[in-house]
Amino acid sequence: MSISTAPPIRRTELPSLSARATAIPPSTIRKLVDVANAAKSRGVHVYHLNIGQPDVPTPPVFFETLRAFKEPVLSYGHSKGHPGLLKAWSEYYGRIGLDVEPSQIQITTGGSEAILYALTLVADPGDNVIVSEPFYTNYRSLAVAAGVVLRGVPAEAQLGYPLPARRLIEDAIDERTRAIMICSPNNPTGTVLTRDEISTVVQIAAQHRLFVISDEVYREFCYEGGHTSIWQFPQVASQAIIVDSISKRFSACGARIGALVSRNADVIDGALRLGQSRLCPATLEQVAAIPLMALDANYYAQLAAEYQGRRDLMCERLSAMPGVAFRKPAGAFYLMATLPVDDADDFCRWMLTDFEHERQTVMMAPAAGFYMTPGAGRREVRIAYVLIQAELDKAMTVLEAGLSAYPGRV
């Protein structure tokens, strides 16, 4: 039959979105994008301290390699990842003291896919994963999409967001807990977990037979000493899953190249089967990432020095602002500050809608979106120091002026 002769359709209501789709939170900063754009259209310059988008140039060898690509057909790559990139990534790990075989790596479409795969591999719908809060907001979205329950255990702001007490973590574990998720250096807090703290996680995971999902994408951004990787703990050799990414360390966020790393053959086989379901990560960026993985220690030293300088400047400026509380973070390029305002969400919006200082303002991420606990982080913001020092310095002057002028100051 054709459409025109089809019988009249009777229906009482349309199908609705799934419950999980409804529960996926919008981006923490999405609601501020429109007001930021409105500020720009009024001629106000907006310093973007709201997202982890570095301004450091992507190493030129990335683009040179892309331009040299000469195959006539942009074909599928291996589902596990480009063999050359697997080898280069393994060699990169070797240079930083982690003994990782190419076979223990699954290349993913960004660290995001590695997180999604890790959650899917360890947890069935309704199972839960423990994470200290505040945490990277997309953990929640990816967990909800995968049907996995995240259980936040609060880290203390006043102490600089260290690992929560072992007792608190263990209190959150139940029979459906499948993993502990850590992120060091941390987004959003900048905290670098000490070897002792990671050792505590290892002991809990070993005792309770949990996986440890360790997000180490900011590994190279440590300013007070070396980085401790979950890979260094043989007690959880089969339980450790590293989430990695080229985005931050090579300023290549738009490449969408990450990795999931594990010594557990079941995990790696499962990750490959997940990888086969989406065929492959982008072919060109994998090829172009190979020479990035070969960059030497000088590159990372320069990178860390650049961000350390920014951090120090930020902390100096924030320290001089009355009522602003924070602890100097040891890594990543984020800082959580408690502001002398009644509501950081309102303040961040006000900065964009009602305030300007010499035709400039600042955009920050209100911290509530990094917490599970309702009401938590109400006076905190996450500040990403992803601008050169001269720009950061001006942004801090604008923030200081904004805090002075804000009617909701407490």
One residue of 54, 152, 190, 402 binding a second copy per CB under 8 A: 54
One residue of 127, 133, 216, 244 binding a second copy per CB under 8 A: 127
Beta bridge partners of 243: 215, 260
Q: Which residue, 243, 270, 265, 245, is CA-closest to 255?
A: 245
**Interatomic CA distance for residues 63 and 292, integer angstroms:** 10
Interface residues for a second copy in 312-331 (CB under 8 A)? Answer: none
104 binds a second copy (CB under 8 A): no
338 binds a second copy (CB under 8 A): no
* Nearest CB to a second copy, comparing residues 219 and 256: 256
Beta bridge partners of 58: none
Q: Which burial class, exposed, middle or buried, applies to 105 when counting CB atoms under 10 A from its CB (0-12, 13-18, 19+)? A: buried
Q: Running DSSP on this structure, what letter comes out for residue 16?
A: -
Interface residues for a second copy in 363-392 (CB under 8 A)? Answer: none
**Total number of residues binding a second copy (CB under 8 A)?**
102
CA angle (109 as vertex; 189, 382 as ends), nearest 5: 15
- Least gap, CB of 203 to a second copy (angstroms): 6
- Least gap, CB of 366 to a second copy (angstroms): 16
262-to-153, 211, 249 alpha-carbon distances in Å: 25, 11, 21
16 binds a second copy (CB under 8 A): yes
- Least gap, CB of 390 to a second copy (angstroms): 17
One residue of 19, 43, 159, 296 binding a second copy per CB under 8 A: 19
Interface residues for a second copy in 270-309 (CB under 8 A)? Answer: 270, 272-274, 276-285
Interface residues for a second copy in 156-185 (CB under 8 A)? Answer: 178-179
**Interatomic CA distance for residues 50 and 56, integer angstroms:** 16
Interface residues for a second copy in 235-274 (CB under 8 A)? Answer: 235, 238-239, 251-256, 264, 266-267, 270, 272-274
For residues 226 and 195, is the Cβ–Cβ distance under 8 A? no
Q: Which residue, 242, 222, 247, is CA-closest to 232?
A: 242
Q: Which stretch binds a second copy (CB under 8 A): 2-10, 39-47, 353-361, 370-378?
A: 2-10
Tokens of 118: 């890790």
* Nearest CB to a second copy, comparing residues 132 and 247: 247
Q: Which stretch binds a second copy (CB under 8 A): 4-12, 180-188, 302-310, 346-354?
A: 4-12
Strands 380-384 and 334-338: antiparallel
One residue of 27, 353, 389, 397 binding a second copy per CB under 8 A: 27
